[in-house]
Chain A
Amino acid sequence: MAYAEDDSHHDVPQTFIRKYVWSQDHKVIAVQYASVAIFVGLIGVLLSNIMRLQIGFPGVFDFITPERYYQYVTMHGMIMVIYLLTALFLGGFGNYLIPLMIGARDMVFPYMNMLSFWVYLVSVIVLLASFFAPGGPTGAGWTLYPPQAILPGTPGHEWGIILMLVSLVIFIVATTMGGLNYVTTVLQARCEGMTLLRMPLAVWGILTATVLALLAFPALFVSGVMMLLDKTLHTSFFMPAVVSMGQMSDYRGGSPLLFQHLFWFFGHPEVYIVALPAFGIVSDLISVHARKAIFGYRTMVWAIVIIGGLSFIVWAHHMFVSGMNPWFGFFFATSTLIIAVPTAIKVYNWTLTLWRGDIHLSIPMLFALAFLCTFVIGGLTGLFLGNVSVDIPLSGTYFVVAHFHMVMGVAPLLVVFGAIYHWFPKITGRMLDDRLGRWHFWVTFLGTYLIYFPMHYLGVLGMPRRYYNWEGYQFIPQSAFQLNVFITVVALAVGVMQLLFVYNLVHSAFRGVKAGANPWRAASLEWFTPQTPPQHLNWGPHLPVVHRWAYAYSVPGAAEDFIAQNAPAGDGGHEPQPYGTPEAVATR
């Protein structure tokens, strides 16, 4: 490991443009990434609210035609999973937190880091351009399954799908540039004393998710390129001989299931690309705001790594009824349920961190607790869908919609909110408004629960997802439609409340109460920069030296209820030693 004190290669930017636009500073890039992600995320929320209007009040809003409905479904899904959550956790939080938490001056490849953001921005522009393309954006569903994704009968099958695939390919280029940077930075640029097993779990979560992204996104990349070739040059990677709109096509012998395998080989790790950073960050939020060392740190690290590894051998649980060889079901059901064990351990350890803590119900803590509640139900309903014979009647129904929104939509977003309330004073030097924050919290947490909990039951009833309407089905009772009205009304309220959050962000960035250097009295390194907000190159003339882990809270005998990671070694609070080694190392 090199402790680079020499910063001559990295001049301090002077002009506005080099400081805030073509910036190579990881903190500025993080804010750029996060701003764009939140902007497209708001579009995603708007689209979901329009979809809910159609589901709750079918036929009332003339402008929601079936074409538009499917286009909004598709764009909502893709925006939320890829362009909001992935970009925000890796490009936003990864960029901001990694160098500060490990004591680095910046990412090791600052120029590539800047390029990563601008390429991401291009992918977003291409994606949004499809709204203005002839025929509109693709309406193939976010999974983009061929053959229908590129055939007539699906909205946006001409330009929409091409722009979508091109945008994804560009996005993956951006993610790869960012990802290589994050991994290299964590492995190469940690300051003196910052061993891997002293890093905050947030870094572990982001690091592991980045490795997953580097290994999983190529599968989406190649399938995107192959489908582009199928669409434009009429190759037949995913296209069997089909009759489209009464005409025999010139496709021959391709396999639609091949696409599904490639897609989910990416798509399942993608769930953890979003979830692992959330796991890591929420661990830190809980520990700081409960003033207690994270329970079972090493187990938590291993759980993150094991979950990351297992996430590559469970993908076909998305395909139990896809028409693949049904014997695969045994293997994938088993591997899927095994993943529940390390995941459950993380949940236990979060609750055991709270136990005997000194729990401050600040807004970040409230969001962390809401995450815990939401993630528990989202994780448990995953056990329904992962268990193949329980999945068969439920797959393709609203149970699936409710499950994945709980587990990888709402739960990670609650962590995003908690994390923003937590680190906003670090980023801007000002606190977010507490009263607005509490409104935002309660409406978002209770609202999303009211939306998605009853939705599971519509799925058990058998209501299929991706339906423009369910008019005339006898097996659906009238009460189910009334429930849909209720869900729509709550969804609108939750949607509007996010505008309040954005208002809070903008307002507090300029007018918020000034925060001290360490308003939450946290122990991890990022709170001990010489200036708040941290200046270019973060650490002033000398890099920090770390003497302990990030969780030295309420150490017996210490003067305060936390000990900074870079406090002198004699202050105590060292990390517990691995299981089985003599516990004798109290000071070093």
Chain B
Amino acid sequence: MNTIPEMLKTVAKQNAGRTAIVDEGVAIDYATLERRITSLAAELYGRGIRQGDRVALLLPNGLDFVIGYFAIAALGVIVVPLNDHYQQTELLYFLEECGVSLVITSQSFARLCDQVLSMCRSPCKLIFVEDQTEPSETALTSLPDLKVEIDPDAPVMYQFSSGSTGRPKRVARTHANLLFELNSLVQTLRLSNEDRFLGVAPFSHVNGLMRSMMASIRAGAALYPLAKFERQAIAEVIENQKITIFIAVPFMFSMIAKTNFRKRPDFSSLRLCVSASAPMPKKLNEEFYKKFWIYVRQLYGSTETGTISVNLRSDIEGSIESVGTTISGVEVEIFAEDGCIGNVGEGGEIAVKSPGAIKGYDGLDEVNREVFRNGYFFTGDLGKKDQGGLLYLIGRKKFFINKGGYKIDPHEIEELLESHAKVEEAVVIGLPTSYGDEKVKAVIVLNIPTTEEEIIKYCQGKIADFKIPSLIEFRGSLPKSPTGKVLRKMLMES
């Protein structure tokens, strides 16, 4: 199998009668899942969607997201998963940047979508999942043959990566990229069709998408998606459905560990808890362990490369802060400041070679020359390796803020703030919280006096609420280097 549709077909055939997804208590098997995907693909085809087009998904985690994703991919069309917290400015940017011609969404987003589509420069249509009916057997047998020849090196999905400069960068991962990562995950994490995955990390983001949703399907396992992060619901599903794999972000594990459950839930069915998207502080991991008797394993990856490494060491207590060793087929080197590969224990920039990685960003030649060199992708993360080859993250070269597992590009918020008539200059930084994430702080220089309230009001409805600064500080000027570069580190420390 060389493409995502081929993978689905193979898995569905091998696991036809097994449970694929249990959404809000309703289970469907792989054979039914495949039929519903085919039915939606036929509808998309009927609406004029063709190979190479871009179709967005604006949905929470759930069966509809999975059906939508694979139906789009089945036609050789590029999937654009969108965070369901996004607001006007963000949605407009992503739809236009990707040239999306159709959005699969739900009625709850109808008003927002209508507003955004009215501002789109090119035509874009909507399909609501509520309008989809389960196809009858007769309807399915009369579906047209949708066989599409798909090049494994053609893009199957566009995601966006926070960058050190400008707006989020489009990352086009191919069928081959995704299949490599999924096969490697199955092998490394020893996934099987006996596993039961909790799907709570957002499917619109690489972590929830690849390591929960796609990994579960690849393994022929059962996926239990949750549309929202609800602590009791998570605990109930893990306990009652005997979940074996729980993939999330540090903030989610921290919230579960801190929750005052009426009766401590039984997590004994879990064989693997994996945290990604941000480092999991040792203290939080120990707190989780004390309550549930399982350590959270740290996984390291990026939107550009997919999964890079995971810590599956049996002596986890001694390496709890490590992101482990590379998954099968991936190479990692640490490059020192002088551009040479560093010695053991020496810190430097993490560079990755992986068949799961993209070869460059579309149309960003200058950036590509900087970060894609000699077959490596330079991640912008700083790390070191110990004698045993365990990888540790020690910082990052590029600035982004991790809010509850969501990666926020500060430049995006700065750009919005600076579009306010009374703002002369704005810098956005992240300040660590006791929950292992960061809060968003804006330091603003005004040209006309205004209030924090006015600034917040200006941001509302334009960007997701978790991106709106929680702290705003007005200053007369910003600290800058002699070359005029804003000294963010100084602002973070002050």
Interaction A to B: no
Interface residues of B (CB under 8 A from A): none
